[in-house]
Amino acid sequence: MHIALGSDTFSGLGRYGANTLEEAGLMVAAGLTPAQVLAAGTSGAARQCVRPDLGTVAPGKRADLLVLDTDPTADIGSLRDLRMVIQNGGITVDKR
Q: In this structure, is the dihedral angle defined by the CA atoms of residues 21, 22, 27 and 30, taken in order, positive or negative?
A: positive
Domain membership of residue 5 (yes or no) is no
pLDDT of residue 92: 93
Which has the closest alpha carbon to 93: 19, 70, 83? 83
Q: What are the DSSP E strand ranges found in 1-96?
A: 65-68, 82-87, 90-94
- Residue numbers of the domain that contains 72: 18-94
Between CA 74 and CA 5 the distance in angstroms is 18
Domain membership of residue 10 (yes or no) is no
Q: Structurally, how many domains does the chain consist of? A: 1
Domain membership of residue 2 (yes or no) is no
Domain membership of residue 1 (yes or no) is no
Q: pTM for the full model? A: 0.85
Q: In this structure, is the dihedral angle defined by the CA atoms of residues 72, 26, 81 and 52, taken in order, positive or negative?
A: positive
What confidence tens digit (pLDDT) does each residue in 2-57 have?
899 986 666 555 666 778 888 999 999 999 999 999 999 999 999 998 999 989 98
